[in-house]
Structures are given as C-alpha cells and as structure tokens.
Amino acid sequence: MNQNASTAGTKPAKEAKPEAMQTLELTDNEATVGQCFTDKPKMSMRNVNVFYEDKQAIHDVSVDIAKNEVIAMIGPSGCGKSTFLRSLNRMNDTVDGCRVEGKICMDGEDLYAPKLDVVELRARVGMVFQKPNPFPKSIYDNVAYGPKLHGLADSRVDLDEIVEKSLRKASLWDEVKERLHQAGTGLSGGQQQRLCIARAIAVSPEMILMDEPCSALDPIATAKIEELIEELSENFTIAIVTHSMQQAARVSHRTAYFHLGRLIEVNPTEQVFTMPAHRLTEAYITGRFG
Amino acid sequence: MQATNILFLILGLGCFAFYLGRGRSLAIAKPLGGIRHLHSLPSYYGFHAALWCALPSLFLLSLWMIFDDLLINSMVMDALPAASAPADSASYNLLLNKIANLADGILPRSGESAALITAADQMLNYRVVSRWSLTALILTLSLVGMAWGWSRTAPLFRARPVVEAVAEKILLACACLAIFTTLGIVLSVLFESIQFFRSVPAFDFIFGLDWSPQTAIREDQVGSSGSFGAVPLFVGTLLVSAVAMVVAVPIGLMSAIFLAEYANKTVRSYAKPALEVLAGIPTVVYGFFAALTVAPFLRDLGEGFGLSVSSESALAAGGVMGVMIIPFISSLADDVITAVPQSMRDGSLAMGATKSETVRRVIIPAALPGIVGGIMLAVSRAIGETMIVVMAAGMAAKLTANPLDSVTTVTVQIVTLLTGDQEFDSPKTLAAFALGLMLFTVTLLLNIFALHIVKKYREQYE
C-alpha cells in the first residue's frame, strides 16, 4: 500500500492539531487523511456522492479496497457508513430517491455503467445484513437459493456439495447437518447469521459486504462470527460496517472512519487505534462522541 | 308520552346530570385548592351522575316496552264477558286483533257488539294510563338517580373505577348484541330447516339430483309433487364460483404484486383507489352488465366459433363476478405482500436475484398463507353472491359442468322461492331455509378455514 494522494492532506491537519483538537467541528473540504489508495485495488471509489432525494448522505469519498483485505467502516450513527457500503453492490437502487454520483469500479469495471448487469454484480459482491434474514425456507434451501438462481449446480449432487461446502465455510455444518431440511428461521440468532453468511458465500462471490453483522447477536455468537470473518478473509475481500471499535480492531486490516457523510481517515487498523491521524478520529475512539 | 319522547327525556336528563355532577365536583374542589384534591377528574363525577340518572330509567323503559302490551292485552281479554270469550288460541289472536283495530280506529265501530266496543275503550284507557304512569315513573327514577349520583360526589369518592366498570359492561353488551343477533338468525334458519326436513328427508335434499320445487297446492292440480335435490344447485354455485375465481385469482394476485412490488408511489396512489372503485359498484349494476353486455357478447363470440353458448351462461355470470371480486383479492394480497419484511427482499436481491425471481421465490412463498386466506374469503363471497347470478346465470336447475350452459345457484333459488306471495308452511318455501342453512354452513367452514390460515401466517413473523 502506498501513501500518495493523502499525504497532502495529512500535513496541514497535523500542524493544526493542538488548537484544532479543541474544536470537533468539521470544516468543509477537509481531505481524507491516511492511506486511502492501493496499487491494485479490488474496488476503487472516486469522488463518490450519495443523495437521498435532496439530502446528501455521502460527501466526496475516495478510497480503494485491496484484494483479500478486511476493511472496517466505523463512525457515529448516521455518518453514512451503511449507505456507503450499500452503494458498493448497488443495493441503494432499491431505495426510492437514492442517487449515486462519482465512480465506483470493481477490477476496473464501472459499477454504475448503464450496461452493467446488477444481478451479476450482486452475485459477485455478496452481502450480510444487520439483522439475520434467512428466508422462511429450510436451511438447505436457504443456502441453495443463490446457486439455483445462478445455475451454479447442474445436478442435485453438485448442489448438495455446494451447500455442504458453504455451510462448512460458515462453520455451521456440524450444527445443522442433521436437520438441513428444517426451517432456517428456527435456528438461534447467531446460527441464522452464519446461515446468511453461508448463503452469501454459496455463490462464490469475490467480495462480501457486512452491515453490522453482529449488532443483533450475543457476545459468544459475535466471537464466532469474528473468527469466521478472519477465516473468510483468506478467500474473500470483506468490507464490514461496525458499531463496535473493538470489533473493528479485532477483525480488520484497515479501518475507515466516517463522520457526517465524509470519510475522515483511512489507515491500518493498528495505527487508527493507537495513533489516529485526525482529531475527529481520535475524539471518536477515545469516546468523546459516538 | 311516546316511548321515543321518553328516551329523549332520559338522555336530556342524563346530560343535565353530567353537568350537575361535574359542577358539584368543581365546586367542592375549589376551596380544597383545585381538582388535584379530588380522587377522579371532574368529568368522571359528571359521568357517574349521568349513569345513575339514565341507566336505571333506560332499563325500566325497555322492560316496560316489552311487557306493557302483553299485560294490557291479557287484562282486556280477561275482562271480556264469558259469552264473547274466545275458545282457542287462534280465535283468541283474531279477537285481540279486532279489538286493537277497533281501538285504533282502523275498523269502523258501527255494527260491532257492545262487549267488543267496551273492550276497545278499555284498551285505549289502559294504554293512556300505562303511558302516563311510565312517564311519571321514569321521571322519578331519573331524578332520584341524578340526586343520588350528585350526592355521592365527594373528594374521596372513587368515581373513575365505577365509570370505567360501567363502560366495560356497555361495551360487553354491544358485543353480545351482535353475537346474539347472529345466533338468532342461525336458530331461526335452523328451526325452519328442521320443519322442512320433516316433509323432505335430509338425505334426498343433500344428495338428490333433481330440483323442481313446484308443488301442487290443491289435490286436483296438475303438476309435480316437487323434488328437492340440492345437488344441481350446489354444482351450479360451484361452477359459477369456479369461473369467478379463475378470473379473479390471477388478475387480483398479479395486480397486487404489481402494486406492492413494482409500482412507484405515484402509480400506486392512483391505481389502488381506482381498483378499489370496483368494490364500490353495486352488485345489481354488475348484474345487468353481465346480463345485457357480457352474456350477449359471449353468445355471439361462441357463434363465431361454432359453439352454442346459452344467452344466460355460467361463464358470463362467473366472469363478471370475478371482476367484482378482483379488488377483494388484490387488496388482501397487497396487504400480506407488503407485510413481508423488507429484509427478505434485501436478502434475495443481494443474492443477485431479479425482482421477479424475488417475488416468485421469496415473497410469494412467504406470503402464501395470507394469500390463501384471502382467496378463501373471496370464495365465500362468490358463493354467497346473489344479484349477478339472478340476473345473468339463469333459473334452470341443470346438472352440468359446462360453463357455456345456463345454470342456477343456491342463492338464485332462495330468491325465487321467497319472492312474491308465498305460504310459509309448504316445503317449497321452507326449502329456502334449508338451502340457506347449507350455504351458511359452507361459507362458515370456509371462513373458519381462512381465518385459521391467516392466523397461522401471523405467527410466523411475530
């Protein structure tokens, strides 16, 4: 990872630090601080603005996500981190009045190009939601949903194999192998969330977006999911939105701090939590607001 | 005074009692330092006084209304001289009617026996006495109640629980009224049906294949003795309902899917009310639309294809009935589809499903129990529908499964059996009650089934 465009923004911020630390006001046109860009990004965002009707939810965000990286988005409620995440697989399309400006590319391909097939994009970029949302179908059918949809299995045997593999990767197989044909909604919250992860990885996406995947779960289930994220990062690129700074610190390689719709700082996670480069990041991680 | 006037008098006194009670509580509260020193809000004291004033009087009034005629009648009849006293209950009623008519001046008095004239005068007398004593009693009772309610108004008196308890009882009474009315209807239909089944065996009725309810009234008349096999009617009903559902279910369901999943806000805000206008069209309008427009059109169309379509066909009636039922299904289905959580849609879309795949594979299966419940309700609506079939389906009780033929339905037969001058002790008219009972049973079972499914559906998401 290199540190080109962002260095310009880093210096004035550092010089201004002593007095600026006093004010937590966000001044306009503050550039993002830290390591935003990488050489061969899996996904790259340039000058992204997102609007809901007339209200602007994301202001001029530019950042890269590297391959097989886990990037965490943190920030106070309403800072736009979920909106940002949802613009990466165009789930914002389902929201009336939502408009995305700027350029979002995956492997150099513009995601908002008119000829892009959203269906294909979403097969490549999976998503796990805040609240576990298994379909009211059996565990097997939940996982088989995507492969059936995209014709990934030619026979029942293939499908069985995909289902088992996905459930194993989501470390759920041992718990459910005896009851694959019972309702997915009958599982516990943590199991349901892992089922949703299994469902997402069953179509072999290249990237997985996670929108606060543990906020509805108890600590033990959370620990399991976090462990899982670490394993998954070997094969997938993961972008995770989280409310918990500890979680960001535990699972991510890089952390992005959002504030009022602006991307304030992106840096390696360790650095963000030990030596934040921006006064607002520091204020947030030390608990002065959030 | 007339009963209605008395009713208004009681209500007026009740209002007055409310203001007295409320005023007194306010007056008491003032020297104590405001209404916070009262147990309940002033209006509760008002309601308390008003309830004491009105409820006992209303109770007395309704009892009086039920019993005063009976009492007066028996007093008048008892006073008749033995010579003109009636022999049996039939002539008792006849005589009583005559006396009442004399009293009301409907029958001329000239030429009637002196005993009857006296009786009529006596009846008039009793009525006047009854009315005035009722007025006096009610007035006293109201005033006493008002005074009692007023006198109980005190800072520590707990008026609120009393009023709340009475309010609960009033609500309960209203609920009971609705239930008892239904029960009354069911029982009356049941008793008439039992009478019918005395002359026609239930087995012949339920499984008989021949329906011609015309019975000879006199011995010497030519004509059938009547046969009451209800099967052709139920087959006809099923045929017409089936045609209606074939029209209504796909169109209703698909328009619901469009409205719930595809339409944007503007389209939805116009399309939904427009669709619901269909539900507001009176069925008689649908009826003549079916009979005068659709049926001839279908007949001509059939001729073009070399089919013989009856000018009163099950197809015409069922098709138009289907159109009538569309808003029923579409608005119920729209409700259950909108009730499917957004997270289901998100989950499916995020998997790379298209909108229609999401609808087919996730939304419809999730909403299915609710949709089935809606369809069941629509079916019972179709079975009970009368006007359209009376006008467009025909009267001939044919046992046929051909929708191009004319059929008749249970409801049509009930209408024809009971319209016009009828005698209510022949099997012909009583058959209507038996048909009604069977129809009621079928729709009741369907409704219970539908409600059961809807309830099961609710549990799934709570």
Q: Rounded distance, CA B167 to CA B176, Å?
A: 14
CA atoms in the 13 A half-sphere facing the CB of A67: 9
Which of residues B157, B191, B216 is at a domain's end? B157
Mutate one of A82, A111, A127, A211 to test the B interface: name it (highest B CB count within 10 A). A127
Cβ of A123 within 8 Å of Cβ of B352? The answer is yes
Higher pLDDT, B276 or A148: A148
Shortest alpha-carbon distance between residue A168 and chain B (Å): 19
Q: What is the mean pLDDT of residues B440-444?
A: 88
**How many angstroms separate the CA atoms of B233 and B211, rounded?**
8
A chain contacts of residue B350, beta-carbon cutoff 8 Å = 89, 91, 122, 126-127, 129, 200
Contacts of B371 in chain A (CB under 8 A): none
Cβ count within 10 A of residue B96? 17
Going by C-alpha positions, the residue among A5, A8, A26 that lies closest to residue A279 is A26
Say whether both B96 and B233 belong to one domain. no
When divided into structural domains, chain B yields a total of 2
Distance from CA of A85 to the nearest CA of B (A): 12
* B351 → closest Cβ in A94, A136, A145: A145
pLDDT for position B115: 82
- Please report the DSSP string for B56-76 in residue order: HHHHHHHHHHHHHHHHHHHHH
Q: Same domain for B318 and B448? A: yes
Q: Which residue has the tokens 């008098």?
A: B9
B178 lies in some domain: no
Mean pLDDT is lowest, of A104-108, A284-288, B329-333, B433-437, for A284-288
- Label residue B363 exposed, middle or buried (CB < 10 Å: 0-12, 13-18, 19+): buried
Q: Does A91 touch chain B (CB under 8 A)?
A: yes
Residues of chain A neighbouring B265 (CB-CB closer than 8 A): 96
Q: Which residue of A has its CA nearest to B354?
A: A119
* Residue in A126, A134, A185 closest to B350 by CB: A126
pLDDT attached to residue B255: 93
Domain ranges of chain A: 30-285
Q: Nearest by CB to B352, from A129, A146, A185: name it.
A: A146
**Closest A-chain CA to B361:** A145
- C-beta atoms of B346 and A150 within 8 A: no
Residue B164 domain-assigned? no
Find chain B residues with C-beta within 8 A of A129's C-beta: 343, 346-347, 350
B265 within some domain:
yes
Chain B nearest-CA residue for A86: B350
Could you give the CA distance from residue B56 to residue B138 in angstroms, rounded to a whole number? 9
Same domain, B417 and B283: yes
In chain A, helix, strand, coil percent, each to 5? 40, 25, 35
Whether residues B351 and A123 touch (CB distance < 8 A) is answered with yes
Between CA B8 and CA B11 the distance in angstroms is 5
Q: Are B250 and B383 in contact (CB under 8 A)?
A: no
Question: At A66, phi and psi to the nearest 5?
Answer: -80, 165
Contact A89 B350 (CB under 8 A): yes
Q: Which helix (H) or strand (E) holds B242?
A: helix B231-257
Q: Over the stretch A198-239, which tens digit does the pLDDT of each residue have? A: 999 999 999 999 999 988 888 888 898 899 899 888 889 999
Q: What is the SS3 assignment for A218?
A: coil
Strands (E), chain A: 33-34, 41-52, 55-66, 70-74, 98-106, 109-110, 125-128, 207-211, 237-241, 254-259, 262-268
Cross-chain residue pair B365–A137, CB shorter than 8 Å: yes
- Do B275 and B407 have their domain in common? yes
Q: Nearest CB to A122: which of B265, B351, B361?
A: B351
Residue A116 in contact with partner chain B when CB distance is under 8 A: no
B-contacting residues in A 230-289 (Cβ below 8 Å): none
| 8 Å CB contact of A129 and B349 | no
The angle that helices B114-152 and B42-79 make with each other, rounded to 10 degrees, is 160
Kindly state whether residue B97 falls inside one of the protein's structural domains: yes
Answer yes or no: do A135 and B350 touch at CB < 8 A.
Answer: no
Q: In 3-state terms, what secondary structure has residue B439?
A: helix
Q: Which amino acid is at B231?
A: V
Model ipTM? 0.83
Q: Which CATH architecture has domain A30-285?
A: 3-Layer(aba) Sandwich (3.40)
| Chain A 189-218, residues with CB within 8 Å of chain B CB atoms | 196, 199-200, 203
Question: What confidence tier does B215 reach under pLDDT thresholds 50, 70, 90?
Answer: low
Domain of residue B287, CATH code:
1.10.3720.10
Each residue of B373-416: pLDDT tens digit?
A: 888 889 988 998 888 988 888 787 888 888 888 888 888 888 88
Cβ neighbours of residue B13 under 8 Å, at least 6 residues apart? B53, B54, B57, B142, B143, B146
Rounded to the nearest 10°, the torsion over CA A179, A185, A189, A192 is 60
Same domain, yes or no: B256 and B392: yes
**For position B395, what pLDDT does the model report?**
81
Collapse the DSSP code of A268 into the 3-class scheme (helix H, G, I; strand E, B; otherwise coil) and give the result: strand
Given an 8 Å threshold on Cβ–Cβ distance, is A94 in contact with B346? Answer: yes
In chain A, which residues have pLDDT < 70? 1-29, 289-290
The nearest CA of chain A is from the CA of B242 a distance in Å of 31
Do residue B409 and residue B302 come from a single domain?
Answer: yes
Contact assignment for A134 to B351 by CB distance below 8 Å: no
What interhelical angle do B364-384 and B231-257 show, nearest 10?
A: 140
B347 closest CB neighbour out of A89, A123, A135:
A135
Q: Check A133 against B460: CB less than 8 A apart.
A: no
Q: Assign B392 to helix, strand or coil.
A: helix
A151 at the B interface (CB within 8 A)? Answer: no
Answer with the one of B122, B157, B192 that is the final residue of a domain. Answer: B157
pLDDT (average), residues B142-149: 92
**pLDDT on residue B218:** 61
> Quick check: B352 and A137 CB within 8 A?
no
Distance from CA of B260 to the nearest CA of A (A): 13
Q: Which of B106, B124, B157 is the last residue of a domain?
A: B157
Q: Which residues of A touch B346 (CB under 8 A)?
A: 91, 94, 127, 129, 133
| Residue B252 Cα, gap to closest chain A Cα (Å) | 24
**Residue A169, strand partner residues:** none
Within an 8 Å CB–CB cutoff, is residue A144 touching chain B? no
Q: Which two tokens stand for residue B79?
A: 């006073």
**Domain containing B111: what range?**
3-157
B309 — pLDDT class (breaks 50, 70, 90): confident
Q: Determine, yes or no, domain membership for B90.
A: yes
Residue B218 resides in a domain: no
Over residues B178-204, the pLDDT tens digits come to 999 999 999 999 998 998 888 888 888
Q: Which of B264, B336, B351, B364 to mutate to test the interface with A (most CBs of A within 10 A)?
A: B351
Q: Is A34 left (phi over 0), alpha (psi -120 to 50) or beta?
A: left
Query: What pLDDT score does A12 carry?
Result: 45
Asked if A135 and B362 come within 8 Å (Cβ–Cβ), the reply is yes
- What pLDDT was estimated at residue A11? 43
Give me the pLDDT at residue B418, please.
Answer: 84
| A20 Cβ under 8 Å from any chain B Cβ | no
Inter-chain residue contact A119 with B354, CB threshold 8 Å: yes
Q: Do B352 and A127 touch (CB under 8 A)?
A: no
Residue B262: closest C-alpha in chain A: A94
Q: Which residues of A touch B343 (CB under 8 A)?
A: 129, 131, 133
Distance of alpha carbon A253 from alpha carbon A70, whole angstroms:
5
| Residue B174: other Cβ atoms inside 10 A | 10
Say whether residue A126 is in contact with chain B using an 8 A CB cutoff. Answer: yes
- Predicted local distance difference test score (pLDDT) of residue A217: 84
Dump pLDDT digits (tens) for B17-36. 999 999 999 898 888 888 88
pLDDT tier at B428, thresholds 50, 70, 90 = confident
pLDDT recorded at residue A50: 92
Same domain for B283 and B421?
yes
Q: Test A135 with B357 for CB contact under 8 angstroms.
A: no
Residue A29 gets which letter from DSSP?
T
Establish if B214 belongs to a structural domain.
no
